[in-house]
Amino acid sequence: MKRTLRHLYGAGALFFYFFKWPFAAGLPLLYGYYGLHDNPILDVLWLYCTALIAKDAVLFFLKHFRHR
């Protein structure tokens, strides 16, 4: 069971590492331009992706501009 959870965590981490930018940019386009109906699951995933992007931006800022 523990091994399966580690595999799922690793797959999720890789998925969101590569998929967060296209998903964060594409979902508003799908809602606004293509008329996709409101989907709460996609909304939660979009919030999660944008939170990951914000976390990456904050960590980048802290790492590169903190001690200058």
pLDDT band at 68 (very low <50, low <70, confident <90, very high): low
DSSP state of 68: -
> What pLDDT, in 10s, does the model give residues 54-65?
998 999 999 888
Comparing CA positions, the residue from 11, 24, 25, 32 lying closest to residue 52 is 24
Q: Which is higher by pLDDT, 67 or 12? A: 12
Q: Tell me the CA distances in angstroms from 59 to 17, 40, 41, 54, 65, one per residue in order.
A: 15, 29, 27, 9, 10
pTM for this model (two decimals): 0.75
Instruction: State mean pLDDT over 33-59.
Output: 90
